[in-house]
Every structure is written in structure tokens, then in C-alpha cells.
């Protein structure tokens, strides 16, 4: 792994744990509920976060054979109550798979690849693959924070670090 992304790797490793902790104690029914008509459900957030982690692998040059949630979130697609989302167990299993692939991607990515042009102009102002990685790390952390808030709302227990 290149030294320039060491801190991003540390954040992603922590997020691997926090994602699971933010789902601890949440029931299947709770995961599908929305606290208002303008918020996402916990299962939407969890599925979106796994989808994003697979995208992170792609940006690092190690795309999955297939992102199982392809087509669900592209073009900023919002929550749709008509969509079918996976179960908590299914999304946790995909999180484990995506995390293993991400570990491989972080270990094999080169500095040259990180300096290359990223797939889109991201909001942080650095549109290289390395800049896109930084944006994805921030976005993943943001999603997990929302998941933690919903976990506390439903279970009355805070997410543990």
C-alpha cells in the first residue's frame, strides 16, 4: 500500500467495524422503516454504503466481478418505497465481501494510479483517483453516521466504536 493513503486506509478499517456496529440490535422491520417521509430507511443507507464501497474498489483499480446493487443508486437515485432492498443479513454479507475486496485494492494500488484522473469531478476539488478515494471515505463515514443515528433511535443504544 502506498503511504499517501495510509490515513484513508485507517478510516476505512474503522468504518468496516462501525458499519456492523451501527446495525447491531436493529430488527429487520426497524431497518425498513423511515422516521419521516423525507428520510432514508436504515436498509437503504446500508445498501447504499455497500454499493459505494464496491465503487471505491473500482476507483482503486480492483472492481468487483459485479456490484450486486448496480442500478439502485446511480445518478443520485433517492429512496423509492417500491424498490426491493436486501435483508440485513444479505447486506452484512455483501459488506464483508466488499471489505475483503477493498483490503486487496488498498494493498495493490499504486501511487501512479492514485494520481490518475478519477471517474468524475468530485466535490472536494481533487479529481484524481486519490482525491476520489478521499471523497468516498468521507461519504462512507457520513452514511455510517446516519446509520448510527437511526440505530440509536430504534434500539435506544448508541453505536459502539
| DSSP state letters, 115-161 | HSBPSS--TTS--BHHHHHHHHHHHHHHHHHHHHHHHHHHHS-PPP-
Query: Which pTM value belongs to this model?
Result: 0.96
User: What does the pLDDT read at residue 16?
Assistant: 98
For 64-121, what is each residue's pLDDT tens digit?
889 999 999 988 888 998 999 999 999 999 999 999 999 999 999 999 999 999 999 9
- What the chain holds in terms of domains, given with CATH numbers, is 3-155 (1.20.120.450)
Q: Rounded CA gap, 123 and 18, in Å?
A: 24
Q: Is pLDDT of 51 > 80?
A: yes
User: What nine digits make up the cell of 14?
Assistant: 474503522
Specify the DSSP class assigned to residue 158. P
Amino acid at each position: 500500500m502506498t503511504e499517501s493513503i495510509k490515513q484513508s486506509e485507517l478510516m476505512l478499517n474503522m468504518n468496516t467495524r462501525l458499519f456492523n456496529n451501527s446495525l447491531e440490535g436493529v430488527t429487520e422491520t426497524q431497518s425498513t422503516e423511515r422516521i419521516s417521509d423525507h428520510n432514508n430507511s436504515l436498509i437503504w443507507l446500508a445498501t447504499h454504503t455497500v454499493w459505494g464501497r464496491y465503487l471505491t474498489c473500482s476507483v482503486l483499480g480492483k472492481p468487483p466481478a459485479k456490484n450486486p446493487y448496480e442500478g439502485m443508486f446511480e445518478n443520485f437515485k433517492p429512496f423509492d418505497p417500491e424498490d426491493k432492498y436486501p435483508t440485513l443479513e444479505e447486506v452484512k454479507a455483501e459488506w464483508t465481501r466488499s471489505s475483503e475486496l477493498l483490503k486487496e485494492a488498498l494493498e495493490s494500488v499504486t501511487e501512479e494510479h492514485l494520481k490518475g484522473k478519477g471517474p468524475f469531478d468530485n466535490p472536494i476539488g481533487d479529481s484524481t483517483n486519490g482525491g476520489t478515494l478521499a471523497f468516498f471515505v468521507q461519504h462512507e463515514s457520513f452514511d455510517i453516521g446516519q446509520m448510527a443515528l437511526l440505530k440509536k433511535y430504534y434500539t435506544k443504544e448508541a453505536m459502539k466504536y
